[in-house]
Amino acid sequence: MDQLCRQAANQVAQILLNKVKKRTPVGVKPTFDEPKTVKVKGASGKSKSFLTRSGAILDRYWAGYRGGSLRDAWMILPVEKHGDVYEITVVNNLDYASYVEYGHRQTPGRYVPALGKSLKVSWVKGRFMLTISEQEVKVLAPEVLNDMLYNALKGVFG
């Protein structure tokens, strides 16, 4: 029975993890309207390339950026048993995960060099990736558990 309960908890945890990962936003490298470089012709007739402002921002802050680290950081901890209750824990260890989940304050007008822009709003709304997924799984869990229990009893009694 303990093994069946742990398998059921792991299955529910996998469903939750899949829902959370689908709901987690992936960062996108900013795009700028200006060209990345500009060619300047000198008096001697030689031309030289220089980075534009947006090109310098892209090279300095966004070189090698691939996105998706928040989504990749979700993980399931081992199932814990407390009395008759089996507990699953889904965590994200990135330091900014809670700010994306619940929202955060920022100072309007502050210039962010990585974006090349000034901030506009004082509150950024949360995405509630884990909260919404958890509510969906709470509704779905009894059905999953009934199916697992039915299949286990079917296997025992033939």
Tell which of 66, 89, 122 closes a domain: 66
For residues 15 and 140, give the distance between their C-alpha atoms in angstroms, rounded to a whole number.
9
- Whether residues 74 and 22 fall in one domain: yes
Q: Is the pLDDT confidence value at 43 over 90?
A: no
Same domain, 116 and 59: no
Please tell me the pTM assigned to this model.
0.83
Greatest CA separation found in the chain?
93
User: Over the chain, what is the mean pLDDT?
Assistant: 93
- Total of domains in the chain: 2
Pair 75, 123 in one domain: yes
Please report the pLDDT score of residue 128 as a whole number. Answer: 98
Sign of the dihedral through C-alpha 54, 63, 110, 27? positive
> Which range, of 43-52, 68-77, 83-92, averages the lowest pLDDT?
43-52
The larger pLDDT score, comparing residue 102 to residue 117, is at: 102
- Which residues constitute the domain of residue 141? 2-28+69-157
Q: Per residue in 107-148, pLDDT tens?
A: 999 999 988 899 999 999 999 999 999 999 999 999 999 999
